[in-house]
């Protein structure tokens, strides 16, 4: 977890403690810098949010961290993988089939011989 500072002149990130931009050398004043809160999630992904001032950056950083921990604990906001979605889809499709409605996957299979000239 870090907070970086971004030079608005050249969009280069520097350490929070930097007094001037590493790239363009411009002095980093509250008016020409922004703060970037960066949090690393347990899945290795990094989330960042740029804000106007350091207090906000600290607040955002702790919120991002809280959310990252919540995601770990409650397993929320994880995008489904095919591995987990496919059995669910099959169960759903099986249900639809039983209810007598046409479902794409079965429709595909039944029209297949037609396409092949069978
Ligand atoms: Zn710069």
Query: 102 CA distance to ligand 1 centroid (A)?
Result: 60
Query: 2 CA distance to ligand 1 centroid (A)?
Result: 19
User: Nearest to residue 35, comparing CAs of 48, 22, 21?
Assistant: 48
Q: Which of 93 and 111 is assigned the larger pLDDT? A: 93
Q: Is there a single domain that holds both residue 84 and residue 69?
A: no
Q: Is there a single domain that holds both residue 15 and residue 64?
A: yes
State the pLDDT confidence band at 17, using cuts at 50, 70 and 90.
Answer: very high
Query: 32 CA distance to ligand 1 centroid (A)?
Result: 9
Range(s) of the domain holding residue 64: 2-73
Total structural domains within the chain: 2
Distances (CA, A) of 55 to 58, 59, 61: 5, 6, 10
- Given a cut of 60, whether residue 99 has pLDDT beyond it is yes
Q: Is there a single domain that holds both residue 60 and residue 114?
A: no
Query: 14 CA distance to ligand 1 centroid (A)?
Result: 9
Q: Is there a single domain that holds both residue 95 and residue 58?
A: no
Q: Is there a single domain that holds both residue 94 and residue 68?
A: no
pTM: 0.58
Q: Is there a single domain that holds both residue 35 and residue 92?
A: no
């Amino acid at each position: 977890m870090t907070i970086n500072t971004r030079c608005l002149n050249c969009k280069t990130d520097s350490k929070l403690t930097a007094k001037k931009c590493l790239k363009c050398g411009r002095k980093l004043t509250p008016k020409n810098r922004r703060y970037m809160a960066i949090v690393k999630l347990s899945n290795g992904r990094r989330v960042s949010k740029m804000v106007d001032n350091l207090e906000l950056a600290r607040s955002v950083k702790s919120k991002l961290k809280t959310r990252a921990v919540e995601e770990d604990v409650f397993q929320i906001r994880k995008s489904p993988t095919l591995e987990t979605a496919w059995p669910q889809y099959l169960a759903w499709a099986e249900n639809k089939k039983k209810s007598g409605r046409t479902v794409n996957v079965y429709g595909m299979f039944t029209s297949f011989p037609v396409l092949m000239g069978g």
